Structures are given as structure tokens and as C-alpha cells.
């Protein structure tokens, strides 16, 4: 049941932020079996080991943040997930392609595919406005 006091806005120094939530489940050999999430066009296994590509349903002005979490009923070989992007071209890459590349890593830092049945929960925050951050 919804809380009648919840509102669809938040106070932020970034104009017109959009938060997307989603998840995907790995099938055999780490291939994406299914995905869900509003504003998400697709999620697919990338060409590299442990690489996954989230394609947004529309273009946004600026990438602000991504959070991820692996969910499984036993210990996963994947212990962390990083953005697989060049920091110097991060904004232009995501703005032009509407794609966010993730890299799953094992404890030793090596690339690792998700195991069959493992789920990744993700949160992506984008700025929809061309207006930059408000003065602090």
C-alpha cells in the first residue's frame, strides 16, 4: 500500500533528475536471461568476460550515478561491479549511445561472468535537463 505522504519530487542541486531502477538475471554462460525496469530498453551480455550493457530507452543530458548489487542464494564469484567506461569520455559516451557498460569482477579483480540464476539490481541516476547544477 502506498504512503499518502510520498511525493514524486526530490530536492537536489541537479535540475530535473531521473532515477531508473531495474534488474537482470543471468542464464547459462552469463548471458542475460531476462531484465526489467522502467526506462530500460535492453540489457545484454557484452563481448568481454563479465561485461554487460544496459541501454536506456531515451537519451539524457548527463550521467550522474549508477549503483549495483548482485543477488543470489549462495556466495557469488562476482564480488563487485564497476563502470566499464573511460573517465575522460564517460559523459559523451553515455550521452551519445544511451548505454552504460558494467564489468563484473571476482575477488582477485579478474573479470567474471555472472553465474546462472544470479541477479543484478541496479539504480541509474541521470540529469534530463540541459541546465547544469545550481549554485551551492
Taking only the tens place, the pLDDT of each residue in 52-98 is 999 999 999 999 999 999 999 999 999 999 999 999 999 999 989 99
With respect to CATH, is domain 17-127 assigned 2.60.40? yes
Instruction: Report the SS3 class of residue 95.
Output: helix
Report whether pLDDT(1) > 80: no
* pLDDT for the residue 4: 65
CA distance 63 to 92: 9
Q: What are phi and psi of 97, to 5 degrees?
A: -100, -15
Lowest mean pLDDT among 95-99, 109-113, 116-120, 127-131: 127-131
Give me the residue spans of the domains in the chain.
17-127
Amino acid at each position: 500500500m502506498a504512503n499518502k505522504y510520498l511525493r514524486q519530487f526530490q530536492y537536489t542541486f541537479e535540475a530535473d533528475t531521473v532515477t531508473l531502477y531495474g534488474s537482470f538475471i543471468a542464464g547459462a554462460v552469463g548471458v542475460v536471461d531476462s531484465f526489467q525496469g522502467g526506462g530500460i530498453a535492453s540489457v545484454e551480455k557484452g563481448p568481454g568476460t563479465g561485461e554487460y550493457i544496459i541501454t536506456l530507452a531515451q537519451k539524457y543530458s548527463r550521467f550522474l550515478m549508477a549503483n549495483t548489487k548482485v543477488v543470489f542464494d549462495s556466495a557469488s564469484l562476482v564480488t563487485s561491479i564497476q563502470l566499464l567506461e573511460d573517465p575522460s569520455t564517460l559523459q559523451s559516451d553515455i550521452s551519445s549511445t544511451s548505454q552504460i557498460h558494467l564489468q563484473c569482477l571476482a575477488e582477485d579483480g579478474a573479470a567474471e561472468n555472472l553465474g546462472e540464476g544470479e541477479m543484478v539490481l541496479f539504480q541509474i541516476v541521470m540529469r534530463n535537463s540541459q541546465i547544469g547544477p545550481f549554485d551551492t
